[in-house]
Amino acid sequence: MQYKKLGNSDLNVSVVALGTWGLGGGSVWSDRDSTAAEAARLLDACKDHGINYIDTAPVYGTGASEELLGAALAGRRHDFVLQTKCSLNWRGEGGNFHYSRDGYTVNNDTRPEAIRRDVEDSLRRMKTDYLDSLIVHYVCKSFPVADTVGVLEDLIREGKIRAYGLSNSQPADLEEYQNAPQKRQGVSVVQEFFSILSPFHGRDYFPFCEKYNTSFQTYGVLEEGFLTGPAFLEKRFAKTDIRARIPWVEEKYHDGLRKAFAAWTPLCEARGCSFAQLVEAWALAQFPNMSLLVGMRKSANVADTVRCLDLRLSPRELEMMEESVRGIQVAVLDK
């Protein structure tokens, strides 16, 4: 495993991070629900392979992901760098409507009182007294950034969190947060969608991350499984499932994806790697301060994922991989 500082913080994090959106189950991940025992085995595998960075959020299964992690972290909280999120809640205490799902109405609220309540709720669900990193899940323009930055900095001083970041944001948002008068430590990480099929938003963001010494944490690099191989294209999902709501489920993209897999096959054969590992290695090569956030629900996924760190692709191979999908690349998607 490789480790890096998380942006401008003092946190040493594994380059590969465990994403736990799928752990929450529900209608968004409709094929299976996880158990506390499975979550514990998943963390066992992470520790065995050197992954110390875990990402979750209150809305992943409306509390389910955090609660499963809380049980799995018992007795080993200090072995992991724990990151969760704020600003999306289903308490019905104000904010902007974000979505309704599984019988809950979720609002986006970045007011100080809402963020403090989010933090306390997450601490309770995960049975811990501090969070290593707190991400503003969706940047909201309805409430003053200065107030949001102020409470995040206060939470650092109080020892409730050690770092903070942004997700589902724009480079201009990073600029605004970093230039707020209340800023002391500042934004350590931005967590944004980025893949070989949709690289544009990330590439717009990279210069700003470099300017502010902010880590870029990519999610969606495997496009929810559609970049793991041709067989995945045959899968069918419930209408509510995230995998049924992205472009790659449409037949019009399948020919382009199959051609890409055919073009990548020699690279995989030469290195003895999977398509997933190849695509993950491509992503890591795009920016020096990259954190690879991969959703994993099984122990075997962990062992498979970390092998991407051993792959080295030449500039020509990296370009060839992207050229293979140039005709089907799309603008970034809000999932």
Q: Give the three-class secondary structure for 154.
A: helix
Say if CB 280 and CB 228 are below 8 A apart. Answer: no
Residues β-bridged to residue 84: 134
Q: Give the three-class secondary structure for 143.
A: coil
Nearest 5°: the CA angle 88, 90, 94 is 80
Residues β-bridged to residue 215: 189
Q: Which of 53, 60, 177, 253 is catalytic?
A: 60
Distance (Å, whole) CA 59 – CA 7: 25
What b/e string do you get for 187-201 counting C-beta neighbours within 10 Å, with b at 16 or more?
Answer: bbbbbbbbbbbbbeb
Distance (Å, whole) CA 335 – CA 333: 6
Distance (Å, whole) CA 248 – CA 234: 11
Distance (Å, whole) CA 301 – CA 226: 15
Distance (Å, whole) CA 119 – CA 311: 38
Q: Is 3 a catalytic residue?
A: no
Q: How many CA atoms lie within 13 A of 5 on its CB side?
A: 7
Token digits of residue 224: 């929810």
Q: How many CA atoms lie within 13 A of 309 on its CB side?
A: 18
Kindly list the distances between the CA atom of residue 332 and the CA atoms of 119, 197, 223, 239, 259, in Å, as whole numbers in the listed order: 29, 9, 11, 21, 22
Kindly report the length of the chain: 335
Say if CB 209 and CB 190 are below 8 A apart. Answer: yes
Give catalytic residue positions. 60
